[in-house]
Amino acid sequence: MPDRTVAPVIHPIDQVSLQEAKEVCLDNGIRLYYVNAGQQPVMRLEIIFNAGKWYENRPGLSYFTGKMLTEGTDKKTGREISALFDQLGAFVEVTSGFDHINLTVHLLTRHLSTLLPLITELISQPAFRDNELHNIKQIKKQRLLVDLQKTSFVAAQKFTSKVFGEEHPYGKLLDIENIDSTSAEMVMKFYQRQLKGNFEIMVAGKVEVQDLKSINELLGQEPKLAGKSPNVPIHNYQPSELLVEKDDSLQSSVRMGMNFINRDHPDYIEILVVNEILGGYFGSRLMRNIREDKGYTYGIRSGISCLKHGSLWVISTDVKKEFRNQTIAEIIREIQILQNEPVPHEELTSVKNYMLGTFVSETDTPFAVVDKFKTIHYSGLGYNYYKKYFKTIREIDSERIQELAQKYLVVNNLSKVVVG
User: Last residue of some domain: 203, 218, 233?
Assistant: 218
Judgement on whether residues 301 and 409 belong to the same structural domain of the protein? yes
How far is CA 412 from each of CA 156, 240, 273, 370, rounded to the nearest angstrom?
A: 20, 10, 22, 39
For residue 231, what pLDDT is reported? Answer: 76
Judgement on whether residues 193 and 341 belong to the same structural domain of the protein? no
pLDDT for residue 222 is more than 90? no
Judgement on whether residues 176 and 280 belong to the same structural domain of the protein? no
**Which whole number is the average pLDDT over 56-80?**
95
Judgement on whether residues 66 and 209 belong to the same structural domain of the protein? yes
Confidence of residue 70 (pLDDT cuts 50, 70, 90): very high
For residue 114, what pLDDT is reported? Answer: 96
pLDDT for residue 95 is more than 70? yes
Task: Indicate the number of domains in the chain.
Answer: 2
Judgement on whether residues 165 and 208 belong to the same structural domain of the protein? yes
Judgement on whether residues 191 and 329 belong to the same structural domain of the protein? no
pLDDT for residue 226 is more than 90? no
In tens, the pLDDT along 307-336 reads 999 999 999 999 999 999 999 999 999 999
Lowest mean pLDDT among 53-67, 142-156, 229-243: 229-243
Judgement on whether residues 194 and 291 belong to the same structural domain of the protein? no
Identity (one letter) of the amino acid at 45?
L
On whether residue 10 sits in a domain, the answer given is no
CATH code, 141 = 3.30.830.10
Confidence of residue 223 (pLDDT cuts 50, 70, 90): confident
Cα 120 from Cα 45, distance rounded (Å): 12
On whether residue 89 sits in a domain, the answer given is yes
Report yes or no: 44 and 104 within 8 Å, Cβ to Cβ.
yes
On whether residue 254 sits in a domain, the answer given is yes
For residue 21, what pLDDT is reported? Answer: 96
According to DSSP, the β-strands at 199-205 and 31-36 are parallel
Cα 418 from Cα 379, distance rounded (Å): 31
DSSP 88-122: TT-EEEEEE-SS-EEEEEEEEGGGHHHHHHHHHHH
DSSP 251-284: EEEEEEEEE---TTSTTHHHHHHHHIIIIISTTS
**Which whole number is the average pLDDT over 3-13?**
70
User: Last residue of some domain: 218, 252, 286?
Assistant: 218
On whether residue 158 sits in a domain, the answer given is yes
On whether residue 401 sits in a domain, the answer given is yes
Judgement on whether residues 97 and 182 belong to the same structural domain of the protein? yes
Judgement on whether residues 191 and 250 belong to the same structural domain of the protein? no
Judgement on whether residues 187 and 245 belong to the same structural domain of the protein? no
**Phi and psi (nearest 5°) for 335?**
-65, -45
Judgement on whether residues 178 and 277 belong to the same structural domain of the protein? no
On whether residue 15 sits in a domain, the answer given is no
On whether residue 405 sits in a domain, the answer given is yes
Q: CB 111: neighbour CB atoms within 10 A?
A: 17
Sheet holding 101-108, edge to edge: 22-25, 31-36, 199-205, 42-49, 101-108, 91-96
For residue 229, what pLDDT is reported? Answer: 79
pLDDT for residue 79 is more than 90? yes
Judgement on whether residues 100 and 173 belong to the same structural domain of the protein? yes
Report yes or no: 285 and 258 within 8 Å, Cβ to Cβ.
no
Cα 399 from Cα 350, distance rounded (Å): 17
Average pLDDT across the chain, whole number: 94
pLDDT for residue 5 is more than 80? no
Confidence of residue 4 (pLDDT cuts 50, 70, 90): confident
Identity (one letter) of the amino acid at 96?
S
For 201, residues 6+ apart whose C-beta sits below 8 A from its C-beta are 26, 30, 31, 32, 33, 45, 46, 47, 48, 215, 219
Listed ranges 59-68, 234-243, 356-365; the one with the highest mean pLDDT: 59-68
pLDDT for residue 10 is more than 70? no
pLDDT for residue 224 is more than 90? no
HSE of 13, CA atoms in CB hemisphere, 13 A: 21
Helix segments in 249-408, DSSP class H: 268-275, 285-286, 324-340, 345-361, 366-377, 384-395, 398-408
**Which whole number is the average pLDDT over 95-120?**
97
Secondary structure class of 138 (helix, strand, coil): helix
For residue 12, what pLDDT is reported? Answer: 66
Secondary structure class of 410 (helix, strand, coil): coil
Q: What percent of the chain has pLDDT over 90?
A: 88
pLDDT for residue 9 is more than 70? no
How far is CA 284 from each of CA 302, 323, 349, 394, rounded to the nearest angstrom?
A: 9, 20, 13, 19
Which residue range is the domain that position 112 belongs to?
A: 22-218
Cα 376 from Cα 363, distance rounded (Å): 14
In tens, the pLDDT along 140-184 reads 999 999 999 999 999 999 999 999 999 999 999 999 999 999 999
For 37, residues 6+ apart whose C-beta sits below 8 A from its C-beta are 19, 204, 205, 366, 369
Cα 144 from Cα 175, distance rounded (Å): 8
Q: Is 9 exposed, middle or buried (0-12, 13-18, 19+ CB in 10 A)?
A: exposed
On whether residue 145 sits in a domain, the answer given is yes
How far is CA 202 from each of CA 32, 205, 306, rounded to the nearest angstrom?
A: 6, 10, 20
